Amino acid sequence: MAGRKRKLLSLAVAAAEPAVVGPENQGYLKAPAPLKKPAKGEKMEQSPYFSRKDPQHKLGEDFFNQPCVRLAKAFLGKVLVRRCADGTELRGRIVETEAYLGGEDKASHSAGGKRTERNAAMFMKPGTIYVYAIYGIYLCMNVSSQGEGAAVLLRSLEPLQGQPAMRQLRAARRREGARQLKDRELCNGPSKLCQALNIPRCFDRRDLASDPEVWLETDPQASPPEPHDVVSVSRIGIESHGEWAAKPLRFYLRGHPCVSVVNRKAERLTV
């Protein structure tokens, strides 16, 4: 009987250990093995930061129903979750966004109120996912907001859970023999983000407030960013759009290593 108690105790201790790969053991795998599927009756890997039994962390329709600029800032610090086909969950904290204001915004896909088959999601209810391709091969993920044709581009994430799987997904799109990516390089750009979280084109027009494969959560262990933590600067890659190219509609967390492009001048002016 004593031996059985010791065995049960050891199993309980093992089950209590966090399953997330932490920063202390990241970056040493040359070719990460695929994440194993759980055996029959075994529970799927859980993050110590989140719990599926605690649904109040998942953000619903009310969160997305905000004006575009406000929503773009509200995204900062929130956690994007992607549940893969095998049940693996990938998580990343949003650290950079861009706001596209709809018809008035010359840099927006919906400039002038133009509706097409491609940008239809921008005119749907707040929280609708808009996935589009650039250069014919890379994808970007946006989320609609209040405002006709307005949406927020998700530019960069801080990887929180599932880094080995993210690294494999990124490696599949890189040349053979390329150096292993650091954690901060996994999701530091809109297309890198989509690769690392395996966001496919077919997610276009899905509802981020209710979709079972991708959703948004609050981080119960982190405080919301303060206004002085958010840097407002011009957006990336829209230089040909006149005055709209200079408008400060890109937002990022000051000093965060996963931001795609840092603007030191703007940071000094907003301290």
Q: What is the pLDDT of residues 19-37, one digit of tens each?
A: 333 333 333 233 334 444 4
C-alpha closest to that of 250 among 70, 107, 98, 141 = 98
In DSSP terms, which residues pair with 131 in a beta bridge? Answer: 141
Give the pLDDT band of residue 15 (cuts 50, 70, 90). very low
Is pTM beyond 0.85 here? no
Per cent of the chain over pLDDT 70 is 79
Higher per-residue confidence, 175 vs 82: 82
The C-alpha angle with vertex 145 and arms to 60 and 185, in degrees rounded to 5, equals 85
pLDDT, position 55: 58
pLDDT, position 176: 81
Q: Mean pLDDT over all residues of the chain?
A: 84
Give the pLDDT band of residue 50 (cuts 50, 70, 90). very low
- 101 contacts: CB under 8 Å, gap ≥ 6: 68, 69, 108, 147, 150, 249
Question: Lowest-confidence range among 16-20, 72-76, 219-223?
Answer: 16-20
Contact 155, 97 (CB under 8 A): yes
Phi, psi of 24 (to 5 degrees): -70, -20
Contact 203, 215 (CB under 8 A): no
- Total count of residues recorded for the chain: 271
Contact 192, 186 (CB under 8 A): yes
pLDDT, position 263: 92
| Number of helices followed by number of strands (H, E) in the chain | 6, 8
C-alpha closest to that of 100 among 216, 250, 229 = 250
